[in-house]
Amino acid sequence: LQTRLQAGQGYGNTLNCVLTVYRNESVAGFFKGMSFPLASIAVYSSVVFGVFSNTQRLLSQLRHSDPAHSPALTDVTLASVVAGAVSVGIGSPVDLVKIRLQMQTQPYIKANIKLNPTAPGFPVYRGPIHCFRTILQKEGIAGVYRGAGAMLLRDVPGYCLYFIPYTFFCDWITPDGCLSPNPFSVWLAGGVAGAISWATATPMDVVKSRLQADGVYLNKYKGTLDCILQSYQTEGFKVFFRGITVNAVRGFPVSSAMFLGYELSLKAMKRDQTETNP
């Protein structure tokens, strides 16, 4: 729904998008392009959280000679920036394939000329591997990382507004005297942080989605700035907030589960280390 709302044509609102997708593509339409993200989400999340955690530990080691020292706000911010920058290297190709698969059945509208898929019922890409291979052959490495600039502008501030609110809310919710937050505090703080992060990242998410969807049939945008200007000129400022409701609603449960899994995994590993090295 997020991709269709941001990069598609003819969807008035979220409900209309849901009904249109269901009417035209049945339930399967809501799961298009999901196999590649599902196959890579474990690696992606491990890298992002691992980079964030280890950068924090490195900064604490450099500042206080103790990697376990509670990080300062500047340390959390810098670790978030590094995690956001690293995430683009893995996430950009995955998002590109997902969006191309989701958008290949959508009509392309430009100057009132409607270009339908090359053959009705026969999409451009047969699956994620074929999609990735086709993009690589036709557009090269630059094509695989199409929209990476917009994703960088989304993820660097987005992860700052992901990890910083999480750290703040965890500290605020956790009762005094507790060495670590309880699972409910982690769940709630993670959900709030996710909703904040995704809601504020929506404008650049729209630009990224449009850049990555562009190219299924025609290349409309020359780059990030050109996409921003064209989108604003044709649809106004409101276009940059398409899908904000879906992003915010989705961000809460996804981030709650992500942070809860992260914290529980850290506790389990620390417990194993303690038992192994008493």
28, amino acid identity: A
Count the helix, strand and coil residues of the chain and give each as a percent rounded to the nearest 5: 75, 5, 20
Which helix (H) or strand (E) segment holds residue 27: the answer is: none
Name the one residue in this structure whose structure tokens are 């898929």: 117
pLDDT for 109 equals: 47
Predicted pLDDT of residue 68:
76
Per-residue pLDDT of the chain (278 residues; tens, 9 = 90+): 666 777 666 666 667 777 777 777 777 767 676 766 776 788 888 899 999 999 999 998 888 888 777 888 999 999 999 999 999 998 999 999 888 888 776 654 443 434 444 433 456 778 888 889 999 998 899 989 999 999 999 999 999 999 999 999 988 887 766 767 888 889 999 999 999 999 999 999 999 999 988 876 667 888 899 999 999 998 899 999 988 888 898 899 999 999 999 888 888 877 766 555 55
Residue 63 has a pLDDT of 85
**Tokens standing for 258?**
């992500």
**How high is the pLDDT of residue 117?**
44
- pLDDT at position 205 is 93
- 17's enclosing H/E stretch is helix 14-25
What is the secondary structure of 96-118 as a DSSP string? HHHHHHHHTTSPEEETTEEE--S
CA pair distance 82, 167, nearest whole angstrom: 17
Neighbours of 137 (CB within 10 A): 9
* Calpha distance 271→249 (Å, rounded): 34
| CA atoms of 243 and 60, how far apart (whole Å) | 38
Burial of 262 (0-12, 13-18, 19+ CB in 10 A): buried
Which pLDDT score, from 0 to 100, does residue 36 have?
Answer: 66
Closest CA to 194 of 110, 256, 148, 151: 256
In terms of Cα–Cα distance, which of 232, 74, 58 is closest to 160?
74
**Is there a contact between 163 and 80 (Cβ–Cβ < 8 Å)?**
yes
CB 195 within 8 A of CB 252: yes
Spell 219-255 as b/e; 16+ CB within 10 A means b: eebeebeebbeebeeeeeeebbebbbbbbbebbbeeb
Encoding tokens for residue 26?
């049945």
Domains in the chain with CATH codes: 33-145 (no CATH), 148-277 (1.50.40.10)
The verdict on pTM exceeding 0.85 is no
Cα 55 from Cα 213, distance rounded (Å)? 33
